[in-house]
Amino acid sequence: MCWLWVTVLLAAVVAQLEAVRDELRFASYYGDHMVLQQAPESAVLWGYGASGSKVVVTVTNGTSNQTKTTYVKNDIWTVTLEPVKAGGPYSLVATQISNSSMTVKLTDVLFGDVWLCGGQSNMAFTVSQVINASEELAQAVKYPHVRIFTAALEKSEVELLDLPRVDLPWTVPTPELLGHGNFTYFSAVCWLFGRDLHQNLGYPVGLVESCWGGTPVEAWSSTRALKKCSLAGTKDGMPLVEQVWENTVLWNAMIHPLLNMTIKGAIWYQGEDNTNYHQDQYNCSFPAMIDDWRMAFHEGSGGQTALDFPFGFVQICTDQKHSVKEEFPELRWHQTADYGFVPNPRMKRTFMAVSLDLPDEESPWGGIHPRYKQDVALRLTLGARAVAYGQSGVSFQGPFPEKCILDNYQLNVTFDKAIFFNKSVKEALFEVCFSEGQESCKPSTNWTSAPVTDWDQNSVLLKVGEYAGSVAALRYAWRDWPCDLKSCPVYSADRVLPAPPFILHRWPQ
């Protein structure tokens, strides 16, 4: 009798599993209140059902509708909608036609631009942790057309088709959701960026957060991308994290499942944990990750996500105020593929928010986690408006040196745009390296301060002394913590954008 009961119980469990497998449902990141990518791109929808059955998907807002039909293959169905202009709300109905028909309905669906937000703890840093947090949280209800979604923290040794878990399903923002808890949801940089974009664009914006604190770029990269930088076989741990991170485990669990989603672009805040882990390869691994994400999202969405979708990132801020180590300035340089600015020939359609002038000595979470995320988001938004949306006349890059001319004992540095020189700073942060031959200057080389003796609207004049003819390199702001809050020496003429750190070599490297 006991064996009969076990047999009946197992049969019931198997039947239940079969029913779940055949159940019509959407993939994890579709739901009420979501934002789908607007025209001219087409949104991709997919989910699960009974193999062989027909699925009919209808999208309607009461005045217009479209219907798409597909079939379930290997328990998966997929449809690509016709392009839909920004707006809403829409209802989305999926009906499975088989022996036992079933229907799933999603409501309050908007069409707009979808942005993916990735990285480590400074991206996970929530709205409740920023400067003026209560004021920012109170503003949430004013932006019902900026919708938010957060993937749960998961790792996987293999590429997953769907997200294992969801922390925050698609929802209309509230103060409680934006300030759920420290380093949980919702990302301050992601929210403030999306909010600023929505204010400028005037239509819905969807924000998908997928980030994890204390993570290296290798964990977010596919094996395919890491092979391009000879990093595919490395699995050693890092000294700055509490756990050993293996390659690709976050790509597998938190990025690969999203590939079928049509997105407008991505923003990224990461790099601190690569200052002491494969730092020298970051000038390869980071651009390679961007290239690979672009290719993968393009293919995963059936060509709907642009092959060169815009990718914005934050150049890392500061860590220790009196540190003489150069890991942070080196990493900042490598974030630009060693060009010092973006977009550049290696990193096309990218934009960068310089943040080295936003240190926060009083941050409860340490100097590596500054609270001034509003400035970061503003700078990212300017980059998106210029690069992603092609808005003319938008200044989004700080001044960068265009040419350097030696004149007697002075070096004239001319920038590519008008500058504001902050004469109140104690140190101008320009340094030179001397070399009698054509030896290159290394970080360990003895660098000498080059004081600013004069300046105008486009240039600064540096005193380099009697050995001016031996100047082999010039660098600027090459420190972990180069200046106080918004008090670096060189800014754009409107005082909004700081000059990025740079190092210029007279001799080829």
**Cβ distance 254 to 212 under 8 Å?**
yes
**Cβ distance 161 to 215 under 8 Å?**
no
Query: Of all helices (H) and strands (E), which one includes residue 379?
Result: helix 373-383
**Residue pLDDT tens, the chain, 509 long:** 444 454 444 444 333 334 456 799 999 999 999 999 999 999 999 999 999 999 999 999 988 899 999 999 999 999 999 999 999 999 999 999 987 789 999 999 999 999 999 999 999 999 999 999 999 999 999 999 999 999 999 999 999 999 999 999 999 999 999 998 899 989 999 999 999 999 999 999 999 999 999 999 999 999 999 999 999 875 556 544 557 799 999 999 999 999 999 999 999 999 999 999 999 999 999 999 999 999 999 999 999 999 999 999 999 999 999 888 899 999 999 999 999 999 999 999 999 999 999 999 999 999 999 999 999 999 999 999 999 999 999 999 999 999 999 888 899 999 999 999 999 988 889 999 988 766 678 766 789 999 999 999 999 999 998 777 788 899 999 999 999 999 999 999 999 999 999 999 876 55
C-alpha distances (whole Å) from 37 to each of 110, 147, 296, 376, 456 are: 9, 12, 17, 25, 46
Quote the CA–CA distance of 248 and 246 in Å, as a whole number.
7
- The tally of CA atoms less than 13 A away on the side-chain side of residue 49 is 29
pTM value? 0.93
Structure tokens at 123: 């991206």
Domain with residues 111-308, CATH architecture: 3-Layer(aba) Sandwich (3.40)
Residue intervals in the chain for CATH 3.40.50:
111-308
Residue intervals in the chain for CATH 2.60.40.10:
24-110
User: Phi, psi at residue 107, to the nearest 5°?
Assistant: -125, 165
Strands 65-71 and 54-60 turn out to be antiparallel
| Helix and strand numbers, DSSP H then E, in the chain | 10, 24
Quote the CA–CA distance of 417 and 378 in Å, as a whole number.
20
Structure tokens at 420: 């504001």
Q: The tokens 């119980």 sit on which residue?
A: 9
CATH topology of domain 24-110: Immunoglobulin-like (2.60.40)
C-alpha distances (whole Å) from 283 to each of 239, 274, 337 are: 20, 11, 4
